[in-house]
Structure 1
Amino acid sequence: MTLKTPIAQLGAEVLRRQAQPVDDFASPEFHSLIETMHDTMLEAGGVGIAAPQLGASWQILIIASRPTARYPHAPDMPPILMINPSFEIVDGALHKDWEGCLSVPGVRALVPRYQAIDIEYRNQLGEICHLPLQGFPARVFQHEFDHLLGLVYLDRVENNRDIISETEFFKRIAV
């Protein structure tokens, strides 16, 4: 599958840079990037995307948990655009579950994440918003938030044996 907008792949310098905060919520480039992010995420079958994945080192992400071929058991929620996000941990316990990434195709890994978090972010108009998340949507947020820090999910893996091919992953979830 060839996407209209290419997604930065592991090894691309932009994925290892700390993203900059957005301060101009009116610029045409900002609104164009948001639209491109949303369209690319849907076209690629993702449940989230961050601006650095499209080569833009800005603190912008979208989470959009929904059942897809890549995540057949994901809960359904509307896409949420988050600009300059931050979060607080509600429950400090870490839970390992499978993750993949549009920037790291063909690979899955067990990644420890917090199960419950409270997020503060700005919406497209620059207004401050708050959102509590739990379970899979909280995982998706933390995964995308890592992209804003210059990290990929493989940086969070505790043991190399927790990394498998996507082909092997689909065999395991089919059981």
Structure 2
Amino acid sequence: MAIRNVLRIGHPALRTRAAEIPDDWFGSQRLQQLIDDLFDTKLACSGAGLAAPQIDEPWRIFVVGMGHNPRYPDADPLPERALINPVIKSIGDELSSGWEGCLSVPDLRGEVERWQRIHLKWQDLEGAFHTEELLDFHSRVVQHENDHLDGVLFPDRLTSPLAFGFQDELQAHGRIP
């Protein structure tokens, strides 16, 4: 287990589409090590999620989960889990706006529209498939992390260029909690 360096916006690895985890990795120590490194790094940085490309690993895997998080004080807890080769689809057309941050875009926040409800399909460490419907903040976090697997960062999805700024400035002026 290790805390890895988180790449920042501008690094080309963050703009590359990640490859699927190969079948022969499931159940392996190699995959377990990657998952452990993702969780350790996410925890050390107080993240709600972290995708493999953010630690310079070109694979379609991310981790999510948090209890009380100082970066998201009003958010409900999320169960901790690793989502491998995820696929998401919207349920309906309803969108919601919310302020997002990113460990790869430090100290900045932006308002982004995301699907309110999604259908999620993913594999676990052993390769078993799972499906679930997600709502609200949990749906937002999964969509944000899934974007990383496609080389997309939250500033690419801003509702407006005016809905973007440094966290402390936005807080000082009452735009975010």
Give the TM-score of the pair, scaled to structure 1. Answer: 0.93
Give the equivalent residue in structure 1 for 2:76: 75
User: What is the distance in 2 between the residues matched to 1:170 and 1:65?
Assistant: 22
Aligned to 1:10: 9
Map of 1:156-175 to 2, 5 A cutoff?
156-171=157-172, 172=174, 173-174=176-177
| RMSD after superposition | 1.4
Structure 1 residue 91 displacement after superposition = 2.4
Map 1:37-56 onto structure 2 (within 5 A). Answer: 37-56=38-57
Say whether the 8 Å CA contact 1:16–1:150 is kept in structure 2: yes
Contact 1:65 1:140 in 2 (8 A): no
Q: Which AA in structure 1 matches 2:145?
A: E
Question: 1:32 — aligned with what?
Answer: 33
Q: 1:19 is matched with which residue? A: 18
User: Would the aligned equivalents of 1:66 and 1:74 in 2 still touch at CA under 8 Å?
Assistant: no
- d(CA) in 1 for partners of 2:66, 2:111: 18
Report Cα offsets for 1:74-120 as digits up to 9, x if no partner.
11122121000001211212111100000000100000000100100
1:91 aligns with 2:92: yes
Amino acid at match of 2:166: S
Range moving further from structure 2, 57-66 or 8-17 = 57-66
Q: Which residue of 2 aligns with 1:112?
A: 113
Q: Does 1:122 align with 2:104?
A: no
Partner SS state of residue 83, structure 2: strand
Q: CA deviation at 1:65?
A: 4.3
Contact 2:65-2:81 at 8 Å conserved across structures: yes
5+ long unaligned stretches in structure 1: none
AA of the residue aligned to 2:55: L
Q: How many corresponding residue pairs?
A: 172
- Once the two structures are TM-superposed, the CA of residue 13 in structure 1 deviates from its matched residue by 1.0
| Identity within the alignment, % | 33
* Contact kept? 1:49, 1:63, Cα under 8 Å: yes
Aligned to 1:139: 140
Which letter does structure 2 place at the counterpart of 1:120? K
Aligned partner of 2:81: which letter? I
CA contact (8 A) 1:121 1:128 kept: yes
